[in-house]
Structure 1
Amino acid sequence: MLCYSVILLVAAFATAATATATKPPPVTVTVTVACESTPTPTVDLGYGRYAATVNDTGYPYYKFSNIRYAAPPVGDLRFRQPVAPAGSDSTVHDGKTGASCMQGDPAWYLQVAAGLVLPAFIEGKNVSSVVGKAAASQGTGSSATPSLSDIPKQDATTSEDCLFLDVLVPQAIYESPRRTDTKGKGGVLVWIYGGGYTSGDKSGHAETLLASAKDNGEDGFIYVAFNYRLGMFGWLAGSTLEKDGSANVGLYDQKLALEWVQNNIHLFGGDAERVTVMGESAGASSIMHHITAYGGKKGNAPFQRAILQSPGWLPSKAAAANENIFQQTLTIASTVTNKKITTLSGLRSLTSSELYLVNAAVVGLSAYGSFTYGPTVDGDYVPKLPGELLLNGNFDKSVEVMAAHNANEGILFATPFAKSNKDMATYLKSAVPSLDDRALEVILDSVYPEVFDGSFEYTDQFERAATIVGEAFFSCNTRYLEAAFGDKSYSYLFDAVNRGFHGEDLTYTFYNGPSTVADGGTVNATVAIALQSYITHFVATGNPNGGAAPFFPQYGSNSSVQVVAPDDFGTQITDPEDNKRCSWWQSATVYDS
């Protein structure tokens, strides 16, 4: 609130009778004569005007919340590529209207992986033994038929109309005299969340990274985070769908949001030529798909730098497997809605609430280790699997890359129920239906044989499953990237108090001081602050060095990986994923076409 005041000095007048009395002192009176609101920063995007909220405590910044970047993907726009907003709207949006995308979680993950496996792993117990004792009551985390009573109610904050983004701008950048109507000077960090392609949203605690950038003596940067469609809504595929829809619409959502940044970030003071995109898990693997989009044949990616933390997904390139999932979705839609749904148009005709139930049922019933939906080879945006495209030089080589994997990526996705080679084969084939049968035989007999004498990196079936999944679907992906980019890349191995399980690094990336919530109250502050320093310097310069953290060399021809962990922090090791197994996964014909 901006107020104008007038200060008056008022002299006291004495009567004749008191003229000889002591003269009283002047009296000061403050009178407020005008008052008006301080103008709120507002950005006009043509199709809408968006006002910011102000954070003036600690590190001051403006937050523009829930900016629409695409038309609502509802009705006939379901299962299609997103459409940019159209028209003109002079209404000033305050950012209070928005939503997360429809969510879903596999039963195996909630009941077994997070509920039993992770606690046992962190405590150093034998996972198979712990889970085995509960197996009779828990089963495998899924059932044969969907039950509506098992599906959680839709969260009121979720909607199909969810394609919004947030922009956080340090006041110093937004108000910089270097900012013009056509170009800004501030660097930009765009966050893409993970969650198995079935859950997650743009919310988070980016304020800590913004403050970290300033604490490191940098100018700070603008932070952008966006939603993209999840589960069935974003990743349904198959030949039937693709006759009147599109596979990978979640990737196209991300692509449109990244193009929005290129076209509009200057209005907030950002430089479209200094954009770093960062993601974890599904978010990081999405970035791999954008780096390899169109096989590198349609120009550069809509960003210049990329930070990929634990890029992971279950590869899919088999048209038959995709069509099977599409048909399964229709069958479950018929079951949960009590309607006969046999076509894509029939699926589109369902209400949003009905579609929520369908998605939740399909994802909930996912085979152990699987999320059912995710990116797939479509012959266009994804012409081949990213590993193959990177191996053959079919990618955007202009991007500067920093990639990372955790010490124990696979434990959250490895089955604790396998007791034999046959069980392992069933598990892998169920989780990844497009696995070639001959390749599966090689995987189990030669690449990861059933040998538990310590000569391999596992001593029981669970550790074997964790090694297979951790390498094949997560950490080998970082090797593919680093080998492709070489001297233009940096790589680090994350380990921590809780043994570097998949996702543990998020509490370090967004560390905001000691907390009983973050990593169970065990976050190592030294490691967290150093990791934030590496991230913010890379965003600023394309080089993680420059702060007080230990020197971080490039990956280079010697496959150098920085250790980011309480023990041996700042040392370098040869990339453990520079091995024959990762080379086999990348070059072999592993998946059906």
Structure 2
Amino acid sequence: MLFTVGVLLAVSTSATLGIPLAGSPTVKLDNAIFTGLSEGPVSKFLGIPFAQPPKRDRRFRLPLAVPPYEGTLSATKYGPACPQQTPSPLVFGSFTVDIAGPPLSPDQIDDALKISRLQATDVLESDEDCLSINVIKPANISTPVLLPVLVVLICQNIFDCSNIRRNDDTGVRLVERSLQLGQPLIYVSMNYRGSAWGFLPGVEVKKAGLGNLGLHDQREALLWVQKYIGAFGGDKAKVTIWGGSAGAISVSLHMLTNGGNTGGLFRGAFMQSGAPIPIGDISDGQKYYDALVSDTKCSKAIDTLQCLRTVPSDVLQAAVDKSPNVLSYQALSLAWLPRADGVFLADSPLKLVQQGKVADIPFVTGNVDDEGTAFSLSSFNVTNDAQFREYVKTYFLPKAPDSALAPLWSAYSDDPRAGSPFNTGILWGYHQYKRIAAFQGDSVFQAPRRFFLQERSGKQKAWSYLSKRSKYLPLPFLGSFHGTDFNIHLMDDYLVRFTTTLNPNNGTGVVWPQYTPTSPQLYTFPTLGSPTVTIDNYRANGLSVLAELGIKYPN
């Protein structure tokens, strides 16, 4: 059945009937003409629906591709954000934290918390009808060769996906930079479901085969790219998927699904602060499903999952907002995140890596030095060794016996000189803050990256990096915190080169060597100065212990 204009309008609030303006770029998809925007050297086509609205009875179901497009349609504005959990404010009260270093005031703590909340504050509108895709491309380029394509999996607040409107400047910047480098590319981004809408756990969800809907949304968008990117001048055989944080973790999970068979959807992967993480079975999140069912008054329903589909959106939103989030006490032990469901993820990601069920493609993966600091401000009331051990065991490794945890306590001691921000001595050594920051950053980001590389290097082309930029500014008690490489656009040129050539090097300057088992080298950005090459052996014992615990006792 053809996708009529009237139906399309009902499907997406962002796709509206429009008349092409003189000079505006257009593209023909199926039997439809989409009109975009022209902004200097780039053309934009925004808010194009790639799947039917996941609302009402389609809520908590697999994405369903849109029928063929038809009509004259506008693609001049971003679609609404997918609903997301509202981060709860973290209140410390009126006091000044006395630490070994400059005093840390409530205002400074609030500044740090804004770093974690920043991306959530830019959502101008949201709607469950949110599955739309955007294309930013060079405006005037005459080449008979189709261009490589960079598909970004943007996700904000750690698997709580927000409107990608904020990332418009990223797409424009990268396309313009690709033109300056003489390696033009096309940039694609999409909205997809996050939080409970995209990563609902529980036995009921597993039985229905409806886990990891956010990842399925991403996959549907990648299928759209295969079908339509040629109309924009893109080469569907030269797609690289890229993400940071939860987006990078998503990229890694696409490398693990389908037994490692990409299905031709992408040929390269670029991950900033994210790798296959130590997550367990989807049933491990049952308590969050049960709480959601209770808070929406679905407990007495025969089919609680179907009942959740009928709940008014504001009621569901309020119930989701009551659940733990990244600013809650349990921090990176998240309620809503990917889990092994037997469909998208056949097993725990680390076990799939061990089994070699990984896409055989070139990839880049790296970290900043202090990944865990921005997520550890909510645990200031953990004040001693016993409380630290209880915190870790309760929220991160509840299945691990005490005997298995013993090596962890020595690997992550309460000596602030060993904590994060790393290499800052006793500064910022308030209670267990630096210890928790080191543990969280290593368990969720650093250890998975190194394990992934150790398992795959030598079997496929891989590069890795470490950034120590922004160590002392703007927030020294956070160090080179999570996201600082994005804040300073650190990887832009490397990303463009990798997308176009599958190699981050440009043939000049410091060579970024491949990561190999015999030479695990990191392209390292020091606090100041040019990149250097270092060996990836820091905190060897701790990262090894964490990888082993993650394999045996995923949470």
**TMscore range, shorter length:** 0.7 to 0.9
Which residue among 284, 301, 315 is the counterpart of 1:354?
315
Determine what percentage of the aligned residue pairs are the same residue.
Answer: 26
Aligned to 1:44: 28
Measure, in 1, the Cα distance between the counterparts of 2:24 and 2:121. Answer: 38
Aligned to 1:412: 374
Which residue among 485, 493, 499 is the counterpart of 1:533?
493
CA gap of 1:454–1:91, structure 2 versus 1, over 3 A, is: closer
Q: What is the CA distance between 1:503 and its match in structure 2?
A: 0.9
Instruction: Give the partner amino acid of 1:373.
Output: W
Measure, in 2, the Cα distance between the counterparts of 1:131 and 1:428. Answer: 26
**Are 2:294 and 1:331 equivalent residues in the alignment?**
yes
Aligned to 1:6: none
Count of aligned pairs between the two proteins: 502
Aligned to 1:525: none
Secondary structure at the aligned position of 1:240 is classed as helix
Cα shift readout 1:7-39 (whole Å, capped 9, x = no counterpart): xxxxxxxxxxxxxxxxxxxxxxxxxxxxx9635
Preserved CA contact (<8 Å) 1:368 1:413: no
CA gap of 1:291–1:97, structure 2 versus 1, over 3 A, is: closer
Measure, in 2, the Cα distance between the counterparts of 1:469 and 1:258. Answer: 31
Which residue among 235, 242, 254 is the counterpart of 1:278?
242
**Are 2:39 and 1:55 equivalent residues in the alignment?**
yes
Which residue among 167, 172, 197 is the counterpart of 2:135?
167
Instruction: Give the partner amino acid of 2:177.
Output: S
Preserved CA contact (<8 Å) 1:70 1:163: yes
Measure, in 2, the Cα distance between the counterparts of 1:315 and 1:124. Answer: 35
Whichever of the two has the greater Rg, that structure is: 1
Measured on the aligned residues, the alpha-carbon RMSD in Å equals 3.6
CA gap of 1:124–1:436, structure 2 versus 1, over 3 A, is: same
Question: Where do 1:136-215 residues align within 5 Å?
Answer: 157-173=125-141, 176-178=142-144, 185-195=146-156, 196-203=158-165, 204=167, 205=169, 206-215=171-180
Cα shift readout 1:495-547 (whole Å, capped 9, x = no counterpart): 222331001111222xxxxxxxxxxxxxxxxxx4xx32222111111112217
Measure, in 2, the Cα distance between the counterparts of 1:405 and 1:193. Answer: 17
CA gap of 1:125–1:308, structure 2 versus 1, over 3 A, is: farther
Measure, in 2, the Cα distance between the counterparts of 1:321 and 1:268. Answer: 43
Measure, in 2, the Cα distance between the counterparts of 1:561 and 1:153. Answer: 34
Preserved CA contact (<8 Å) 1:313 1:374: no
Which residue among 439, 442, 451 is the counterpart of 1:471?
442
Q: What is the CA distance between 1:305 and its match in structure 2?
A: 1.1
Aligned to 1:86: 67
Secondary structure at the aligned position of 2:140 is classed as helix
Aligned to 1:445: 409
Gaps of 5+ in 1: 1-35, 142-151, 179-183, 510-527
**Are 2:251 and 1:322 equivalent residues in the alignment?**
no
Aligned to 1:484: 455
Return the TM-score normalized by structure 2.
0.81
Aligned to 2:466: 493
**Are 2:290 and 1:310 equivalent residues in the alignment?**
no
Instruction: Give the partner amino acid of 1:189.
Output: L
Preserved CA contact (<8 Å) 1:317 1:434: no
Question: Where do 1:287-302 residues align within 5 Å?
Answer: 287-296=251-260, 298-300=261-263, 302=265
Question: Where do 1:249-268 residues align within 5 Å?
Answer: 249-268=213-232
CA gap of 1:52–1:577, structure 2 versus 1, over 3 A, is: farther
Q: What is the CA distance between 1:269 and its match in structure 2?
A: 0.3
Larger mean Cα displacement after TM superposition, 400-409 or 307-316: 307-316
Preserved CA contact (<8 Å) 1:291 1:301: no
**Are 2:515 and 1:569 equivalent residues in the alignment?**
no
Preserved CA contact (<8 Å) 1:101 1:228: yes
Preserved CA contact (<8 Å) 1:562 1:571: yes
Gaps of 5+ in 2: 1-19, 474-478
Secondary structure at the aligned position of 1:90 is classed as strand
